[in-house]
Amino acid sequence: MKFAYGINDFRSIVTEGYFYVDRTDKIYLLEGAKSQLFIRPRRFGKSLLLSML
């Protein structure tokens, strides 16, 4: 099984057989949760993740 580290082209991920999991259905669960806690190291994109949601 190959993992797509650093590859941001979806077409090459699919055609070259990389492991890919679509988690877009989980966004609805995150939005409906009573509380949200995102634990990550300092300067690791928390603001970007929250602004995306």
**Three-class SS state of 3:** strand
Can you give the residue range of the structural domain that contains 36? 2-52
What residue type is 43 in one-letter code? R
Q: pLDDT of 9-49, one tens digit each?
A: 889 988 998 988 888 888 888 888 887 777 666 766 667 77
- More confident position, 51 or 18: 18
Neighbours of 13 (CB within 10 A): 16
- Domains of the chain: total: 1
CB-based contact 21:47 (threshold 8 Å): no
| Nearest alpha-carbon partner for 18 in 32, 30, 2, 34 | 2
CB-based contact 4:22 (threshold 8 Å): no
Phi-psi sector, 45: left (phi>0), alpha (psi -120 to 50), beta: left
Q: What is the pLDDT of residue 11?
A: 92
